[in-house]
Amino acid sequence: AARGEAPERAAPTAAGSYPSVRLRRVRSTRWSRRLVAEHRLTVDDLIWPMFVIEGSNKRVPIASMPGVERLSVDNIVASAEQAVQLGIPAIALFPYTEPKLRSDDAREAFNPENLVCRAARAIKAAGIEIGIVLDVALDPYTSHGHDGLMRGTEIANDETIEALVRQSLVQAEAGADILAPSDMMDGRVGAIRTALETNGYVNTLIMAYAAKYASAFYGPFRDAVGSSMTLASSPEKRDKRSYQMDPANSDEALREVAMDLAEGADLIMVKPGMAYLDIVRRVSETFRVPTFAYQVSGEYAMLQAAANAGWLDGDAVMMESLLAFKRAGAAGILTYFAPRAAAVLNEIRA
Ligand code: PBG
């Protein structure tokens, strides 16, 4: 009704009464929706994963991740600067390792001059204040594409841990603020924590990929770091089911998280994201520790592909999917949408 006019009389319901509770009242205006919103996504929630390649002034598209490119170190520094401008608190770096540097013993992983170490150092040298997350896992460095060292057709847990500890120390030395073990070996968080403490890296955070599932949603990431190629050529065990979790389980995720926390993890991650929101909810509710979700490459690819085809509203599904992580209890989200989501959020605030 216009101002001053009597409001329209509502018709009684079929039962002859009026609903006294109308949940639609607070939904009826934008301001009241804002006032009662239970969860909110902000740029503070975003971690932006990036892929690094050798060379300079290079950008190499990743076919299965439309809109995402592998960047040479100079361009990584520029993107880190862009992340700061957007207000994104942290970035994660993943290397595309030259094939000739991949080996059975993954020795490039603990070369202090490897690609991710150089990228981290370049960002710090440029004085850019941003959190740098580096993965701890051997898959970008092994000739077979697995996260651990192989003995015969098995992934050898304890030998792998030794390599992961060496990798962690060179990465901490290069300036990683957060080490993110994504390898799913048993006991690696404790070994890494002890090594950090005994070497003076007392403030280096560990974000444990605690509940990491053996998922088909990692496909495009493996293209991006070149491990789909190496995994395909490995004679046995092309999947990671002997170390990553079975998607059928959720109690087991709680055990994984408990174990990583007891061993000294500061932050917990659940991965993949959208198909595992129940795990994010259970973990965040059970442990009350900062719980992160990784909206992985395949999730990005499917939303982006549908958006590019004109089948979905890209920005709308991006924002809705990210908000869903917050509703599930996530402290933050690793997402390839980070720069776009930050731009949208900054526009809304402006
Ligand atoms: C490797 C690693 C993977 C991802 C992050 N670290 C892939 C895998 O386990 O095969 C996946 C990220 C993504 O799909 O976006 N240890």
Which of 16-30, 220-234, 243-257 has the largest mean confidence? 243-257
Report the pLDDT value the prediction gives residue 10, as an integer from 0 to 100: 65
Confirm whether 58 is a catalytic residue: no
pTM of the predicted structure, to 2 decimals: 0.94
Residue 262: count of CB within 10 angstroms of its CB:
10
Phi and psi at 304, nearest 5°, equal: -70, -40
Angle at 123 between CA 76 and CA 54, to 5 degrees: 45
First to last CA, the chain: 32
Atom nearest to 218 CA in ligand 1: 14
Binding site membership of 137 for ligand 1 (Cβ less than 6 Å) = yes
Token look-up 């900062």 returns 290
Cβ(51)–Cβ(96) below 8 Å: yes
Query: Is 218 close to ligand 1, i.e. is its CB under 6 Å away?
Result: yes
Q: What CATH number belongs to 41-349?
A: 3.20.20.70
Q: Which of 58, 100, 124, 212 is catalytic?
A: 212
Token look-up 């999917």 returns 321
| Pocket lining: 108 vs ligand 1, CB cutoff 6 Å | no
The yes/no answer to whether this complex scores an ipTM above 0.95 is yes
Alpha-carbon gap, residue 343 to 350, rounded angstroms = 10
Most informative mutation of 160, 221, 242, 274 for ligand 1 (most atoms within 8 A of CB): 221
Residue nearest to atom 16 of ligand 1 (CA): 182
Confidence of residue 1 (pLDDT cuts 50, 70, 90): very low
* Tokens found for residue 29: 């205006």
- Protein residue closest via CA to atom 14 of ligand 1: 218
Task: Establish whether 212 is a catalytic residue.
Answer: yes
Backbone angles phi, psi at 54, to 5 degrees: -70, 155
- The answer, yes or no, to whether residue 327 has pLDDT greater than 90, is yes
C-alpha–C-alpha distance, residues 279 and 256, integer Å: 12
Which three-class secondary structure state does DSSP give residue 11? Answer: coil
Give pLDDT, residue 349.
Answer: 75
Question: For the residues of 23-52, what is the DSSP string, one character each?
Answer: TTTTTSSHHHHHHH-S----GGGEEEEEEE
Whether pLDDT at 170 is above 80: yes
Percent of the chain at pLDDT > 70 equals 95
184 φ/ψ sector (left φ>0, alpha ψ -120 to 50, else beta):
left
Peptide bond into 112 cis (omega under 30): no
Give nearest CA residue, ligand 1 atom 11.
218
Q: 167 CB less than 6 Å from ligand 1?
A: no
Residue list for the binding site for Mg(2+): 256
299 touches ligand 1 (CB under 6 Å)? no
